[in-house]
């Protein structure tokens, strides 16, 4: 059986999570619009392949 490993954020990591949480919430809320905009952009004839 492999040894047990525990991970936890450092205090600085916790502040980073707090700072980025609104961005994650916004992107989750607007995911369908983001996907639609990406599809429109990708369908442009002048868009280089990904």
> Cα(13)–Cα(50) distance, rounded to whole angstroms?
32
Amino acid 1: pLDDT: 84
> Cα(8)–Cα(14) distance, rounded to whole angstroms?
9
Amino acid 46: pLDDT: 86
> Cα(13)–Cα(16) distance, rounded to whole angstroms?
5
Q: What is the pLDDT along the chain (50 residues), one digit of tens a residue?
A: 889 999 999 999 999 999 999 999 999 999 999 999 999 999 998 866 66
Amino acid 21: pLDDT: 96
Contacts of 17 (CB under 8 A, 6+ apart): 9
Amino acid 50: pLDDT: 65
Q: Are 41 and 47 in contact (CB under 8 A)?
A: yes
């Amino acid at each position: 059986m492999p040894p047990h490993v525990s991970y936890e954020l450092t205090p600085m990591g916790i502040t980073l999570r707090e700072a980025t949480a609104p961005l994650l919430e916004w992107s989750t809320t607007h995911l369908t619009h983001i996907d639609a905009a990406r599809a429109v952009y990708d369908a442009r004839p002048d868009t280089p392949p990904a």
